[in-house]
A and B are shown apart, each in its own frame.
Chain A
Amino acid sequence: MESNPSGRRRFLKHAAALAGVAAGAGAGAEWAARGQSAKPEAAAPEAKDPHFFGHGEPSRFVKSGRGARMSIDHITYYTPLQDYAGIITPAGLHFVQQHSSHLPDIDPEQHRLTIHGMVDRPLSFSMDDLKRLPSVSRIHFVECHANGSPMIHNAGNPNMGLPVQFIWGMSSCSEWTGVPLSVLLNEAGVQKEASWLVYEGADPGKFTHTLPLAKAMDDVIVAYGQNGEPVRPEQGFPIRMVVPGWEGPFNVKYLSHIKVVDQPYHTWNESMNHSVMREDLGGKSRWYHFEWAPKSVITRPSAGMKIPRPGYVEITGLAWSGGGKISKVDVSTDGGKSWKEAKLQAPVLPKAHTRFNFDWAWDGQEAVIQSRCTDEKGVVQPSRAELYKNWGIAETDKPARAIHFNGMQPWRVARDGSLHDAMFS
């Protein structure tokens, strides 16, 4: 029932075997490796180039990649938001926030998803079962609940990439394909008294989260596809939960067990990892955060980059909200004194990254650029000062650890064209 989490050794062996197929073997071996007896009509050319049979890599001249931060029980990769165009995060650049020391190496043939608890028919689904069921494919962001936390501004190091990457790069956007969770729950027959789910991943740390049944029946996807290919190992291969618009921890990877229950389960995530102390609540902790409030950030130009000379600059960035579609993005180039509306680039989708662009003529003087978005519910992205005031955080407590943070990000343009993080200056 449980997938084998034996980890790195087998994974590396597997990777080496694949590399051998791609780099050295001819077409016959490739077909044999796929377990097919028929040979192609005309033998394919001998493939020395991994681009021919392999998954494909970016040009060797492309240096962009994920930033990384590791600890004994944690793996974090940051999406290089500054480097890509459009709204889709390439699967290999999707952020990772893994609460275990290594990724599981799951054989999809062995993997099962079970549903039990308050259901009429407890069921186990194989990957083949899941793929037989009606599918949906939707574009949604997934974002770590700590993305943009004020504390990270001072914590960067070269391995983590540019500031927009390690401060805001735990948000990524993909086309997710899979079975609506409502279809699976209906197959199992949810009982009337049920109101919540609790569910677990097959990673070493058995990542677990609680979810209201109403959301589960609304738009949640049990995803096996990501941007047209199988969900990547770092993203939960072979299946993960995608909970559109809600904070990262709900989107449990390596999904293996769902239990239908009648109360919040108060697991480690909701109670400890996902809760936050709030001075405005008399030192009590806010817990059970669900959807993300509207957020936006200018990705280019941003800190660590340089505008080569005065004149035309295209300011571009991303905006998103758990509340639905982005309806408006404003850009200020004078530190928030005045605002002009940016162009939203189609498609503008609910609970998805939305690309905005803004034409700017830089006059060569010092400037502070920032974006501010509004979602279709009319909720406006606040400044950091507004958030701090509401949360009772003292202005002097600059790098306070405030998670679920959606404040605006100012970047300062110096006279030499270099850009700097101006969140706290």
Chain B
Amino acid sequence: MRCSLSLLASVIILAAPAAGLAQSRYNVGTPLSQEDIKRFDMMLGPEGKELPPGHGTAKEGAVVFASRCAVCHGQNGKGGIVRRLVIGSPGQPHRGPFSEADKDGISYYPYPTIAWDYINRAMPASKPGSLAPDEVYALVAFLYYQNGIIQENDVMDAKSLPKVQMPNRDGFVPAVPVYPPDPKNPSWW
């Protein structure tokens, strides 16, 4: 132990002046600028902070869906060679119960940002990442409208999207994920 501590101390003494930064120990890695980060900062949290500019409506989304999505998800997302995206109907959201097969239904997702994020980075499966922000906004508008979650004329953009109230928002346990988990309710149970 004494040996490793003295080694540690010497590394810190050597590294600190070279790096010019108080805590960097090895001075390895290239600093990233805010411009660099903007190019890949796409993973989307529940508040939607990373959403890019753009907007879309259900009507615009219907066109994109027909050309890019319907081949797998079926006409209007009612199911095709993959499971359905739509449970519920315009004006009538499905509030549960959800079966296992319903998990693909957009109504199941607890936050409105999830569908945007997944469509943006992982869809369409044949060419992920190929949709423009306007197209993704339009697609979620279309899917939320078809699921009865928003109105047909609602515009989805970086401000309105995170405010959409999802019907299954309270359908998850624990309501607020914590770590470490409650010992009476371990994470594997």
Contact = CB atoms under 8 A, between A and B. Distances in A.
9 contacts: A2-B40, A114-B37, A120-B23, A121-B21, A129-B30, A189-B24, A204-B122, A272-B108, A289-B187
Interface in A83-127: 99-101, 114, 116, 120-126
**Chain B interface, >50% SS class:** loop
Contacts of A271: 109-111, 114, 172
A291 B39 contact: no
Given A123-B32, A265-B43, 9 more contacts: A2-B40, A121-B31, A125-B28, A257-B40, A263-B46, A277-B98, A284-B171, A291-B188, A401-B100
B32 A266 contact: no
Interface stretch (A50-58, A207-215, A308-316, A350-358): A207-215
B103 interface: yes
Interface string B98-131: 1110011000111101100110011001101100
B52 interface: no
A1 interface: yes
Contact of B177 (A184, A256, A288): A288
B99 A116 contact: no
A213 B136 CA distance: 31
A284 B173 contact: yes
A290 interface: yes
Contact of B43 (A214, A267, A284): A267
A257 B170 CA distance: 30
B180 A214 contact: yes
A204 B130 CA distance: 11
B187 A283 contact: no
A208 to B, nearest CB: 6
B172 A268 contact: no
B121 to A, nearest CB: 4
A227 interface: no
Contacts of B21: 120-121, 189
A293 interface: yes
Given A116-B41, A214-B180, A283 B24 contact: no
Contacts of A205: 121-122, 125, 128
A181 B179 CA distance: 18
B14 to A, nearest CB: 14
Interface residues of B, number: 56
A216 B186 CA distance: 19
Interface string A270-284: 111101111001011
Contacts of A281: 173
B187 A124 contact: no
B122 A123 contact: no
Contacts of A1: 36, 39-40
B104 to A, nearest CB: 8
Contacts of B128: 100, 204-206
Given A101-B125, A125-B29, A287-B172, A268 B43 contact: no
**6 shortest A-B CB distances, which residue pairs?**
A212-B179, A123-B29, A290-B187, A293-B188, A288-B177, A122-B32
B97 to A, nearest CB: 4
A124 B30 CA distance: 5
Q: Which of A116, A186, A266, A275 has the most CB of B within 10 A?
A: A266
B91 interface: no
Contacts of B108: 272
A283 B97 contact: yes
Interface string B137-174: 00000000000000000000000000000000011111
Contacts of B187: 288-291
A116 B32 CA distance: 8
Contacts of A199: 43
Determine which residue in A198, A281, A285 has the highest number of CB atoms from chain B within 10 A of its CB, and name it.
A285
Contact of B179 (A184, A187, A198, A215): A215
A410 B24 CA distance: 53
A277 B116 CA distance: 23
A53 B44 CA distance: 46
A278 B181 CA distance: 18
A164 interface: no
B31 to A, nearest CB: 6
B45 A263 contact: yes
B99 A277 contact: yes
A266 B188 contact: no
